[in-house]
Structure 1
Amino acid sequence: MMHGFIPSDRYFPYLSWTDIASMPDKENVVIVQPIGAIEQHGAHLPLAVDSAISVAVLGKALDQLDSNIPAYSLPPLYYGKSNEHWHFPGTITLSTQTLLAVLMEVAESIYRAGFRKLVFMNSHGGQPQILEIAARDLRQQYEDFAIFPLFTWRVPTVGAIAQELFTPKELKFGIHAGDVETSLLLSILPDHVKMERAKAEYPLGEPQSGVLSMEGALPFAWMTRDLSKSGVLGDPTTATREKGDRILTALVTGWVQVIEDVYQFSLPTAWKCK
């Protein structure tokens, strides 16, 4: 089945062109483009981690969403900008220019069909800036097009649960294939997690003093092999399905709220005021 985690009645490709042409109130219909990556996640996780997170969280959120709120998922964009991982076999990466062009052209197609609300739902940490650039350029081009460049993990429902479930060290350094992602994959795709291969590895070579850091307000550019031999940044050996279930619930709850808020959203129009 093409729709996978997405409810079939919320899957955009199952609509016909006449369904779309006759759809009422298209200006407020919420269209979501889930975006992930196909990239290494250590020896214990599949390449599809980020993509699986996007479609699973979105699918469950759409399933719980009020049926009176019109919202549809586009087909997942499985490939992303993953060049930080390209030294590890299996990683597939688009260039910045290619990903930007794909996002722009998908959005333009959605606009041409009459829709005016589009969410870029991204689960890969290597490309938020590209989505933000695309959103700004689309907003400049189409003054009545509301674009939301959102990161799956930033919904407010996750913070408190994460603080409860994961160590401060893991929350700071476990940014790739560590406890958080491994626990979530044990909830989403348990048959594709090989815990016997899980290996903890924290960043090697990161500055230990000063204001610069791997992530944060003052980052430096890095490639994954600069920091990790295994491709893991974190400790997946402590992952459990129970933790994954709780994180998934928090993400889904947050995304139900996001979609509701996007549905209610109106673009600010200060420039129209006299």
Structure 2
Amino acid sequence: QARGEYMSPRFCCVAQVVHVPTTSPRRRFTGIGSTGPALGAFRWQTPRAGSKDLDVDGGSMSKAQGADEAVHCSGQGGASEGADDGEIDQAAPFFPRRQWVEMSTAEFESMDASRCIALLPVGATEQHGPHLPVSVDSAINAGILKRALELLPANVPLTCLPAVNYGKSVEHDDFAGTISLSTNTLIGVWTDVGEAVARSGVKKLIIFNSHGGQPQVMDIVARDLRKRFGMLVVTVSWFGFGLPDGLFDADELKHGLHAGDVETSIMRHLHPDLVDMSRAEDFVSVGREMESSGNFKYLTPEGGVGFGWLAQDLNPSGATGNASKATAAKGELCVEHAANRLVELVREVDTFDVKCMFNDGLAGEYCQVSFKRVWREAAETRAKGDAEPSHFKSHYSGR
């Protein structure tokens, strides 16, 4: 029986093995709570019959007597190369498969989940005017993520969960083809997924969104998962990364909220066969008319002050923005822009020490010391032009 105990990050995290069963042990997740998780992700040694307890020294397991080779999940299965007769190679990198569903239960049980980052893509199935399919948000999400995975260094331990392609789309319910979930249902689904991720020992989750109607739901889920399971939950929408300079005029950026030049350009790049440009036009938003009237300085559908609206309130077609100006070239630049920034975000999440989330919080002594040390060493290394420290390679190699 293995027991994982969490202590204040100012002291240490320990995993104490008190008894080794005669059968092959399985990782036992010991639970997670609001005051910090019990550690539940270990790489095991499989003892032979008659073997004795395994020693634990500073959080690493070493061979006691007669242990078989350590199980090490590299994303391709098999034991860790270079392991010395059962001793776990702590320096060996761990690489989960890029797709969560492609890993076996055995791989999940043997992996070092504490280093793993899970990414949950969330989109929507909703109308996008007369010229685009209802899959736009989900297709853009998948396209950006695909490009980001091509750019992501192989040594960054990110794995992608299956996408949730139904969202909070009540503003589009009056248009055929839209499938919307209620707020409570969506919160429940995302929270249940996050809890399952935590149960697997993974404490870092990125929710990657592509629908403008649900960032507020993401914020609620992120805080709840932080409180209940001690997770770092990062919420990001692809449009939160901004757009390349000079591609779109100011009016389009402000009022082209839905199925305009931006989304139509991206779809012309990703799925040109699904775009009907013969139906694309300048779908003028009520917001543009309110602004040009001079009567509304603050009250607009967009911006810092807004009001609840349905898609047909802005334009009878359900679209806003000048879709007739869309080009595949602009769409490709948008995808590349967002994908590169998503990669940078993932690398920052990889760098982040989750232990900072416990006990003292981000402002605590442990966190401040940890971050200062990590960034100082990185700066010194880059200044010298030396090879990166071994403990830092997974975060910065290839930058």
Please report the TM-score for the alignment, with normalisation by the length of structure 1: 0.91
Matched residue SS, 2:184: helix
Per the alignment, residue 243 of structure 1 pairs with 330
1:29 and 1:212 mapped to 2: Cα distance?
44
1:242 and 1:262 mapped to 2: Cα distance?
31
Residue 83 of structure 1: CA displacement? 0.4
Give the alignment partner of residue 166 of structure 1, picking from 245, 248, 269: 248
Residue 207 of structure 1: CA displacement? 3.8
Per the alignment, residue 272 of structure 2 pairs with 190
1:142 and 1:241 mapped to 2: Cα distance?
43
More strand by share: 2
- Aligned-pair identity in percent equals 39
The CA RMSD measured in Å over matched residues stands at: 1.6
Higher relative contact order (CA 8 A, sep 6+): 1
Letter of the structure 2 residue corresponding to residue 83 of structure 1: V
Aligned residues, how many? Answer: 261
Per the alignment, residue 110 of structure 1 pairs with 197
Residue 273 of structure 1: CA displacement? 4.3
| Alignment partner of 1:48 is 2:130 | no
Give the alignment partner of residue 316 of structure 2, picking from 229, 240, 243: 229
More helix by share: 1
Matches within 5 A, 1:174-213: 174-204=256-286, 207-208=290-291, 209-213=296-300
Q: Which has the larger radius of gyration?
A: 2
| Alignment partner of 1:152 is 2:225 | no
Contact 2:285–2:320 (Cα < 8 Å) also in 1: yes
Letter of the structure 2 residue corresponding to residue 183 of structure 1: S
Contact 2:173–2:179 (Cα < 8 Å) also in 1: yes
Matched residue SS, 2:246: helix
Per the alignment, residue 132 of structure 1 pairs with 219
| Alignment partner of 1:13 is 2:101 | yes
Contact 1:200–1:232 (Cα < 8 Å) also in 2: no
Contact 2:195–2:229 (Cα < 8 Å) also in 1: no
| Alignment partner of 1:266 is 2:350 | no
Task: Name stretches of at least 5 consecutive residues in structure 2 with no aligned partner.
Answer: 1-95, 367-399
Letter of the structure 1 residue corresponding to residue 98 of structure 2: R
Letter of the structure 1 residue corresponding to residue 246 of structure 2: E
Residue 210 of structure 1: CA displacement? 2.7
Per the alignment, residue 82 of structure 1 pairs with 169
Deviation string, structure 1 residues 46-87 (Cα, Å, up to 9, x no partner): 101111111111121112111011111111100000000111
Matched residue SS, 2:121: strand
1:147 and 1:9 mapped to 2: Cα distance?
20
Contact 1:81–1:93 (Cα < 8 Å) also in 2: yes
Matched residue SS, 2:208: strand
Matched residue SS, 2:309: coil
Matches within 5 A, 1:24-43: 24=112, 26-43=113-130
1:201 and 1:59 mapped to 2: Cα distance?
30
Contact 2:225–2:233 (Cα < 8 Å) also in 1: yes
2:297 and 2:239 mapped to 1: Cα distance?
28
Letter of the structure 2 residue corresponding to residue 117 of structure 1: K
Per the alignment, residue 344 of structure 2 pairs with 257
1:17 and 1:147 mapped to 2: Cα distance?
24
Give the alignment partner of residue 61 of structure 1, picking from 148, 151, 164: 148
